[in-house]
Structure 1
Amino acid sequence: MTDRILVLGGMGRIGSSVAQDLANHVDAEIVVTGRQLPRHEVDSRFSFLLLNLADLEALDKAISEANVVVHCAGPFHYRDARVLKTCIEHRVNYVDVSDHRSFTQKAIAFQEPAKRAGVTAVINSGIFPGISNSMVRQGVEQFDVPEKIHLSYVVSGSGGAGLTVMRTTFLGLQQPFKVWIDGEWQKINPYSDREIVQFPPPYGKTGVYWFDMPEAFTFVDSFPVKTVITKFGSVPDFYNLLTAFVAHRWPESWLKNPGVIEFLANVSYKMTNVSDRFSGIGVAIRSVVTGQKDGKTLDYCSTLVHENTAIAAGYGTGSIAQQLLSGELKKPGVWPVEQVLTTELFEQAMQSRNLKIEQEWG
């Protein structure tokens, strides 16, 4: 029988990028789902399934017929772990592109049921989180004693993503979040403490800000470090200034209003549709791990640049789904990427997709 991969939310920008990556690397039937009939012709390498995640009976049936489920139907701020729970019930391996700590916490709660069912579930995959997590693991493994992680991201315009990612950005401004600094949990305001970071060309020196990412707390469980910093920025820089203004000047009640979030997402999406023509839609990641090696305090810096953020996210998630399907990646339980994907497997996947990561000691 032919293997089947089910891509929930597979008609969105990220979901379709995942499906395209899979089509290039696996010999399996790829089923992409959407809540509405597609407005354009679906890639001939996929089959389309009309599916609303609220239809529990239809969701159960679709999952039961799959070998691997890829959950790309965000924003994950609003999602429960129903899809993951159903995968565990049917003993189907799972990967998602979740990017918010509230969902991560809901998913990790299914750790023991997943272990008992023999299901490997990988959360927080994609580009950031996702590939970025593996870059950090790669860096941590260089040290005798890792001490600090400083992870920065920058995206050009929309990054080639759709409205869902815009919503996610503004949802991330709603409230302060906890971060691990000098061995203690501290509260930080979103989009605060602007820092100029040196990224590879074409980005150069770019402003980044504190942003609530799930790796801000999963890294604390994954690695014995005293500090974890996760910062995000956009180009052109005026998007940073606008986002910071919204985060710090708008009333909290506005930011917690779904109508306001939808308004901001739509306005931003229209603006980036114009600026993308000049800025591009790429992404850059800079991971710096500081620690002790051979009695010395050193930095290990790794960087990545890709011209299309959505395609890079497809590489990150698609490669994990590929490894789950082949059985190369097998560790029953629910895991963020850095806890389950070995550096060897990560490097193989990136090489097969011609995605180059630069590394240097400092």
Structure 2
Amino acid sequence: MDVRRILILGGYGNFGKRIAESLALLTGITVTVAGRDAGKARQLCRDLSAKGARALLEEAVVDINDEHFIDELGALSPDLVIHTGGPFQGQDYRVAEACIAVGCHYIDLADDRRFVCDIVALNEQAMQRNLLVVSGASSVPGLSSTVIDSLMDRFSRLDEIDFAIAPGNRAERGDATVRGILSYTGHPFMAFRKGEWVEQYGWMSPRRLHFGDVVGRRWLANVDIPDLELFPERYRPVNTVRFQAGLELPLLHFTMVFMALLAKMGLIRDWSVFTKPIFNGGEFFRGLGTDIGGMQINLSGLGKDHEPQRIRWTLCAENNVGPYIPTLSAIILAKKLIAGTLDATGARPCLGMYTLEEFDVEASPLGIHHQTEREIG
């Protein structure tokens, strides 16, 4: 079907507004900025119009938790819904199921492991309606899988995937992201290490990693993401998949590590109930650090010549453009649907659904750049 009406849930939020900003530059479509606050949705539409939007812009009041949500969605008649309303930890599939029921495609920016991995439960329903349902169209696993796919032809055997994300402290962030992180801080989750599934704890095992001269060295800690479960199967026979993320300011980073220790000891059950004061406390330090963020993917194995090989892919985002990165996967997929160049159907995690060249088309104008380095032996 033609995709001409795009509804962005959480459309004026940290990620939603960036997706709306990009899609608003297209002609021949309608972009509906939706959320619970009509005033914020209306103001974003005005702001985008003032910046030269070419799309028709509309605002809508939509609450995904309302008992009449499916009726509200049907009345808006979208061809595509982009769900940015996190945190996705603890959410069910009511939005995706509603999209299938009203007959529209669905994309979300979820980073919750269970939410993204289990979206395949909706595959049969989506296939029956000839619809595409995609979860995890974000930095992980959307971008991370695209990068690894682009490098796989350099390996005869891939043994280890070790990657990390390090946002700048001054980068804009939303409380939903903070709430999601806090939900597993100090809690156990499974990761694939040296061919076995082992238990590790959220926001523990700190280490420092160098992200290049611009970003520098950043502290990292364990973070639970869908890739930890998806990649051992996708990139078999890889025997280790490791992911970490961190806060730029060591004081804040090790405060989180200490909080994780308290949760592991059972002294705090769930840090996410304190999201508001923790978020506000973090905002007190927003003037410190930088607005420079980085992402690094390290792959180890055997090259085509069967000699040991390591490839390091590093991305750098300066000038506070880091928060755009989690939105680019969804933007790319939306534009492909609008252009009619994406004919996939069914429900799936966002794995290898676009190319690194397609990523560069969106990332390069923002000043986001990356490089690849290779070590042999």
TM-score normalized by the length of structure 2: 0.87
1:341 aligned residue? 354
Q: Which runs of 5+ in 2 are unaligned?
A: 50-56
Aligned equivalent of 1:144: 156
2:47 counterpart of 1:33: no
Instruction: Give, in whole Å, the separation in 2 of the partners of 1:360 and 1:26.
Output: 39
293, 312, 327: which one pairs with 2:325?
312
The change in CA–CA distance for 1:218 and 1:276 in structure 2 (over 3 A counts) is same
Matched, 1:249 2:262: yes
The corresponding residue for 2:125 is 113
Aligned mate of 1:179, from 176, 187, 191: 191
The structure with higher relative contact order (CA 8 Å, sep 6+) is 1
After TM superposition, give the deviation of residue 199 of structure 1 in Å. 0.5
Is 1:221 the counterpart of 2:233? The answer is yes
Q: Distance in 2 between matches of 1:348 and 1:187?
A: 39
Stretch deviating more after TM superposition (288-297 or 17-26): 17-26
> What count of residue pairs does the alignment treat as equivalent?
358
* Corresponding residue to 1:95 among 107, 122, 129: 107
Q: Hey, what does 2:297 align to over in structure 1?
A: 287
Once structures 1 and 2 are overlaid, which stretch shifts more, 203-212 or 23-32? 23-32
TM-score by length of 1: 0.90
Contact (CA 8 Å) 2:186, 2:262: kept in 1 or not? no
Residue in structure 2 matched with residue 17 of structure 1 by the alignment = 18
Q: Are residues 245 and 283 of structure 1, via their aligned partners in 2, closer, same or farther at CA, if it must alter by over 3 Å?
A: same
Against the structure 1 CA distance between its residues 142 and 112, is the aligned structure 2 distance closer, same or farther, given a 3 Å change threshold? farther
Match of 1:90, as an amino acid? Answer: V
AA at the equivalent of 2:68: E
- Per-residue deviation at 1:211? 0.8
Amino acid paired to 2:64: L
Q: Which runs of 5+ in 1 are unaligned?
A: none
Does the 8 Å CA contact 2:165/2:294 hold for their aligned counterparts? yes
Tell me the secondary structure at the aligned position of residue 260 of structure 2. helix
- Where does residue 92 of structure 2 map in the other structure? 80
User: Paired residue for 1:53, among 42, 54, 64?
Assistant: 64
Listed one character per residue, the Cα deviations across residues 76-109 of structure 1 (whole Å, up to 9, x for unaligned) are: 0121011111222333221101011121233121
- Identity in percent: 20
Tell me whether 1:153 sits opposite 2:165 in the alignment.
Answer: yes
* Cα contact 2:189–2:199 (8 A) shared by 1: yes
Question: Aligned with 1:235: secondary structure?
Answer: coil
| Distance change in 2, residues 1:346/1:312 (3 Å) | closer
Residues 3 and 337 in structure 2, CA contact (< 8 A), matched pair in contact too: no
Tell me by how many angstroms 1:354 deviates.
5.1
> Once superposed, what is the RMSD of the aligned Cα atoms?
2.4
1:88, 1:315 → 2: CA distance?
Answer: 24
1:299 lines up with 2:300 in the alignment: no
In 2, are the aligned partners of 1:171 and 1:261 still within 8 Å (CA)? Answer: yes
